[in-house]
Amino acid sequence: MKILITGHKGFIGQNLCEYLKEDHKISTYEWYPYEYPEVYGYDWVIHLGAISSTTEQDIDKVMTQNYEFSQWLFNECNNKQVNLQYSSSASVYGNNTSFNENDPKQPQSPYAWSKYLFDRWVTKQPKNIIVQGFRYFNVYGPKEDHKKDQASPYTKFIKQAKEEKIITLFKNSDNYKRDFVCVEDVCEAHKQMLNIKTSGIYNIGTGEATSFYDVANTIANKYKAKIYEIDMPNNLVKQYQKFTQADLTNLNKHVKIKWTKILDYIKRDS
């Protein structure tokens, strides 16, 4: 297949390009204002390019790059008969306790709203193509050092443990649980779904929730570091998801993946 990937310099984009290049012909595009990509001639566009910061407060910027550009890209693909996969986010669920794709949405940040609004918009559009939206849960793994404060807890905790021998953790983190999904499994989901001729929105997670404390403690034990608890910053309190756990009923109709457990990944990762 001939595939165009947007956001190829990002965390998931870098991994996905490497993952798919042996079996497919990959081209890339990175966001440039007013220089939009030509999609004609591709079998698929995989749209990962976006402002990924969950704390970005410039709403116009987020809406332009995450929502309006995604609309433009869908219309281009739809007009030129190019199938589309795009990245959404589990942040659209907000503080829900259930996570089926059809459950109520409670976006708590400009980033989450931009993802929810595009999900909502694209499902209502007449389609000549296959369109698959992927709601990523907490993705972790290699090639995310550039994300700095927006990197996954896995990456931040390991960096702290190696360099400072101290991991900073929000108080009550034994009660904060997320569905942590390995980026290699995310790539495998993308790959398998390229052969599925069904449109829809799909959760991408493991179906299991693990506490931040267990992640930090496993890393601390491995690198002989200590855990230091801090208060949660005020700017995170209202939008912080205390629990996520993907409902994979929809995705499992189409793919077979042995999902990696984060604690196992930590123990075996060098």
Are residues 197 and 65 both part of a single domain? Answer: yes
Helix residue spans in 80-182 (DSSP H): 110-123, 153-163
253 domain-assigned: no
* Separation of alpha carbons 53 and 162, rounded Å: 25
Task: Yes or no: say if 257 and 192 are a contact pair by the CB < 8 Å rule.
Answer: yes
Are residues 152 and 94 both part of a single domain? Answer: no
State pLDDT tens for residues 216-225: 999 999 999 9
pLDDT of residue 145: 78
Nearest to 117 by CA among 82, 80, 76, 65: 65
Question: In terms of C-beta density within 10 A (0-12 exposed, 13-18 middle, 19 or more buried), how is residue 258 classed?
Answer: exposed
Does 106 have pLDDT greater than 80? yes
133 domain-assigned: yes
Count how many domains the chain has.
2
249 domain-assigned: no
Band of the pLDDT at 32, cuts 50, 70, 90? low
Pairing of strands 83-89, 131-136: parallel
pLDDT of residue 195: 97
State pLDDT tens for residues 55-89: 778 899 999 889 999 999 999 999 999 999 999 99
Pairing of strands 177-178, 131-136: unpaired
Are residues 53 and 147 both part of a single domain? Answer: no
pLDDT of residue 82: 98
Are residues 120 and 9 both part of a single domain? Answer: yes
- Give the CATH number of the domain where residue 215 resides: 3.90.25.10
156 domain-assigned: yes
Number of neighbours of residue 56 by Cβ within 10 angstroms: 17
Task: Yes or no: say if 43 and 5 are a contact pair by the CB < 8 Å rule.
Answer: no
Active site residue 36: no
- From 93, 111, 136, 265, the catalytic residue: 111
**How big is the chain, counted in residues?**
270
Task: Return the higher-pLDDT residue of 75 and 108.
Answer: 75
Does 35 have pLDDT greater than 80? no
Phi, psi (rounded to 5 degrees) for 17: -60, -45
122 domain-assigned: yes
State pLDDT tens for residues 154-188: 999 999 999 999 999 999 999 999 999 999 999 99
Are residues 133 and 96 both part of a single domain? Answer: yes
Band of the pLDDT at 6, cuts 50, 70, 90? very high
Number of neighbours of residue 248 by Cβ within 10 angstroms: 22
* Separation of alpha carbons 13 and 245, rounded Å: 23
186 domain-assigned: yes
State pLDDT tens for residues 81-96: 999 999 999 999 998 8
All residues at 6 or more sequence positions from 51 whose CB lies less than 8 Å from its CB, including other chains: 61, 62, 65, 66, 111, 114
Phi, psi (rounded to 5 degrees) for 83: -65, 155
Instruction: Return the structure tokens found at 24.
Output: 């497919």
Band of the pLDDT at 99, cuts 50, 70, 90? very high
- Give the CATH number of the domain where residue 47 resides: 3.40.50.720
Active site residue 261: no
pLDDT of residue 54: 73
197 domain-assigned: yes
Does 270 have pLDDT greater than 60? no
223: containing domain: 140-177+208-244+260-268
Q: What is the mean pLDDT of the chain?
A: 93
Are residues 90 and 192 both part of a single domain? Answer: yes
- From 147, 159, 191, 261, the catalytic residue: 147
Pairing of strands 210-211, 177-178: antiparallel
Are residues 91 and 21 both part of a single domain? Answer: yes
255 domain-assigned: no
Task: Yes or no: say if 193 and 3 are a contact pair by the CB < 8 Å rule.
Answer: no
Are residues 126 and 18 both part of a single domain? Answer: yes
Residue whose entry in the numeric block shows the structure tokens 């793994």: 141
State pLDDT tens for residues 36-48: 899 999 999 999 9
